[in-house]
Structures are given as C-alpha cells and as structure tokens.
C-alpha cells in the first residue's frame, strides 16, 4: 500500500506531504492542488515504467515562485511483509530552468537498505540481501529502472506496484467505442473502454458478470454488453429491455452519464483490488446522485473484500464527501501559494455538521 507521498518544488507542491489510507478522499476548492497529487503519481509511474526522458514530464514543472533548481519526490510503500519501501527521486534543472532537466539521484530502499541507486552518473544494482552488484555509467535523462528485466523479488514487487498505479478522469466525450484488440488496462479518460471490456469478457468472465449484474440495478433497462464485429474492429453495443420491448444501442448513442457509469463499474470490478492503486479524479461528473451512492458503497465493499487494493478519490460532490468522510479525508488549502492538506480530524470542532455543510458555510 502507498503510505506517503512527498513532493517539493513541483507546481504548487512545496515541501508537501500526504499519508493516504486504503480509501482516501481529497477535497478542496478548485486550484487547491488536489489534481497535482495525482499528477505526481502519474509522472513518477511513467518515469519508472516507461523510461521516457524526464524532460517530457518535468520540464517547466517547478514551482513558479520558488527559485530553487532541484525537485524532490518520495513515495513510501508498505510491502506484503510489512516492510517499508521508499522511492526517492531528485531532479536538477539547468540555471534559469530553460533547458532539459536531469536525474541527480534515484533510489529504491527496503527498510532503509539499498535495492537500487543512481547517483553521480552511476547505476548501482543490489540483490535481495542488499549486496552491491554491477556498477556502470548511465545518463540521467531517464530512469534506468525501466530497463530491468529480471529484478530480484523485492525490487520486482516495487516495480509491479508502480505499474499498477492507475489514474482515471473519465471523459465520455473521448470514449473510444470501437477497437481492434483487447487492453488489460483502462487509460486516463476511458478512451479504450470497449477494448478493456473485451479483456474482461475473455480473461475475467466472473468479474464481467458481477459488473453487468450491478449495472442492471443502477441503469434502467440495461441487460448486457455485446461486442459486434465491424470489419477488422469490434463495436460495443448495449442491450436494453423496457416495458417488455428489447432493443440494442451502439455505445456511441448513449448519454454521457450512461457511458460514464458503465466505465466506473468496469473500473470498480476490473481494476480495484487487482491494480495496486486506482485514483479517481471527480468520478461523480456526468452521473446523478442516485447513481454515485451505490457505486461508492460497492467501492467500499470491494476494498473490504480484496487484498492489497487502494483507492484515492478527488470530489466536490456533497454525497461523495459525506459518504467518504468516515474514511481518510484531506482538505486541500493554499496558504501563501503553497498547498496544505489538512486531515479531516482537524475539523472535529464542527463534527455535528456534515462535512459538505461545513464546506458550504465556508468552514
């Protein structure tokens, strides 16, 4: 489980720290820095997994009002054996921040002992007993971690966790409703929903049926999904039955709310508990009050019944805020430009009110 996020000199995050739990709510005004936390997770995941040049992610990302040329990121994880994993990345930007940034140091530690280190232009590899192995030069324009094909068990666990970090910000206007091949992942805006649904049907049929069963309850008239061959592609079709009349609709003809709701339940059953961490950025967009509450209830049930699943949610919706207030919740504020995340416990003096009412009253 991800237990700590630290970012310094990244957008509005200066000396910023957050300690998420199994289910964590991030709330606050627009521009208060909530999405920047998800950006940190997405950027670090891409740097570690994809191995692209860090300039494509971090160029021009330093805090505007901070003159320092070094950014620092740290992620802490609780491993399956209870051990503390820590990932540390420091990035140096050129003077004036006008050129390409480079990695200054990058480390992965297990209970304080090294598993991987890059510093002074050298990669240092260690085995599971933390005995140093090969040392060789490497350029700091990208992470070497993406090149590891046979890491030890400990470093392998870390890399697998990072690969499982998924950031979702559903946009039904961007949904791709036809595909050629399956995808085992769901991309940020849900553009590959039909390809992901195809994967669930072929590889995880029990999960697919559970998702369909819940959609029959929350989406009036819904019966099932089907994939129809259209040349070399497959098209996603929804089957409905209303007042005894059966009919089918291509996914492209559904409302934005129906597309979003379908994708939320597919993510709930296909990703939560199967991916290490799923982050939902305003999942209540495009769906109604009566639709989001059952999804939240199913989310908590899913986490309670899974091993190792973790969810973070950004929301402004009163129903979401009040429902998740009993879990780990942080209210984001901007103080003198910098972001502060206040734990919900610090609002105990107003606990007789719902959290959404506190926010509505300016509390």
pLDDT score recorded for residue 6: 98
Instruction: Report the distance separating Cα 351 and Cα 244, nearest Å.
Output: 49
Domain contains 272: yes
| Tens-place pLDDT, residues 235-279 | 999 999 999 999 999 988 999 999 999 999 999 999 999 899 999
Instruction: Report the distance separating Cα 258 and Cα 32, nearest Å.
Output: 30
CB atoms within 10 A of CB 280: 24
Tell me if 188 sits within 8 A of 169, measured CB to CB: yes
Domain contains 227: yes
How many structural domains does the chain have?
Answer: 1
**Full-model pTM:** 0.93
Domain contains 14: no
pLDDT score recorded for residue 150: 83
Is the pLDDT at 346 greater than 60, yes or no? no
Sign of CA dihedral 320, 324, 328, 331: positive
Strands 84-92 and 16-18: unpaired
pLDDT score recorded for residue 355: 67
Domain of residue 233 covers 166-293
Domain contains 179: yes
CB atoms within 10 A of CB 34: 26
Domain contains 52: no
Ranges assigned E (strand) in 52-164: 70-78, 84-92, 102-110, 113-119, 122-126, 132-137
Tell me if 198 sits within 8 A of 185, measured CB to CB: no
pLDDT score recorded for residue 99: 82
Please state the φ and ψ torsions of residue 15, each to the nearest 5 degrees.
Answer: 50, 45
Token couple for 135: 């040392």
Q: Quote the Cα angle for 106-109-113, to 5°.
A: 125
Instruction: Report the distance separating Cα 47 and Cα 148, nearest Å.
Output: 13
Is the pLDDT at 360 greater than 70, yes or no? no
Mean pLDDT in residue range 92-114: 93
| Tens-place pLDDT, residues 8-64 | 999 999 999 999 999 999 998 888 999 999 999 999 999 999 999 999 999 999 999
Domain contains 188: yes
| Tens-place pLDDT, residues 308-337 | 799 999 998 888 888 887 778 999 998 777
Instruction: Report the distance separating Cα 182 and Cα 165, nearest Å.
Output: 20
Domain contains 106: no
Instruction: Report the distance separating Cα 36 and Cα 21, nearest Å.
Output: 18
Average pLDDT, the chain: 91
Token couple for 170: 């559903």
Is the pLDDT at 83 greater than 70, yes or no? yes
Query: Could you give the percent of the chain with pLDDT greater than 90?
Result: 77
Query: Could you give the percent of the chain with pLDDT greater than 70?
Result: 96
Domain contains 250: yes
pLDDT score recorded for residue 313: 97
């Amino acid at each position: 489980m991800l237990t700590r996020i630290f970012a310094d000199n990244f957008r509005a995050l200066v000396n910023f720290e957050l300690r998420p739990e199994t289910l964590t709510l991030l709330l606050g005004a627009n521009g208060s820095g909530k999405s920047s936390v998800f950006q940190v997770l997405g950027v670090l995941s891409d740097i570690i997994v994809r191995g692209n040049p860090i300039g494509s992610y971090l160029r021009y990302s330093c805090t505007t009002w901070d003159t320092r040329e070094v950014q620092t990121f740290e992620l802490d994880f609780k491993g399956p054996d209870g051990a503390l994993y820590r990932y540390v990345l420091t990035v140096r930007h050129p003077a004036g921040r006008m050129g390409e940034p480079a990695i200054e140091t990058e480390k992965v530690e297990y209970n304080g002992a090294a598993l991987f280190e890059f510093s002074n232009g050298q990669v240092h590899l260690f085995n599971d007993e933390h005995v140093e192995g090969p040392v060789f030069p490497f350029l700091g324009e990208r992470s070497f971690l993406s090149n590891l094909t046979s890491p030890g068990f400990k470093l392998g666990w870390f890399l697998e966790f990072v690969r499982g970090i998924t950031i979702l910000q559903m946009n039904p206007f961007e949904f791709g409703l036809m595909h050629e091949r399956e995808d085992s992942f769901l991309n940020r805006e849900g553009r590959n929903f039909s390809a992901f649904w195809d994967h669930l049907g072929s590889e995880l049929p029990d999960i697919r049926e559970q998702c369909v069963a819940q959609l029959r309850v929350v989406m009036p008239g819904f019966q099932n999904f089907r994939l129809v061959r259209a040349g070399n592609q497959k098209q996603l079709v929804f089957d409905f039955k209303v007042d005894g009349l059966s009919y089918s609709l291509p996914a492209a003809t559904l409302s934005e709310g129906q597309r979003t709701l379908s994708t939320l339940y597919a993510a709930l059953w296909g990703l939560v508990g199967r991916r290490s961490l799923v982050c939902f950025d305003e999942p209540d967009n495009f769906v109604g009050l009566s639709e989001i509450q059952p999804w939240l209830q199913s989310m908590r049930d899913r986490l309670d019944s899974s091993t190792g699943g973790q969810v973070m949610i950004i929301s402004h919706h009163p129903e979401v805020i009040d429902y998740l207030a009993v879990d780990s919740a942080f209210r984001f504020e901007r103080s003198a430009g910098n972001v502060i995340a206040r734990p919900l416990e610090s609002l105990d003096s107003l606990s007789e009110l719902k959290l959404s009412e506190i926010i509505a009253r300016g509390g």
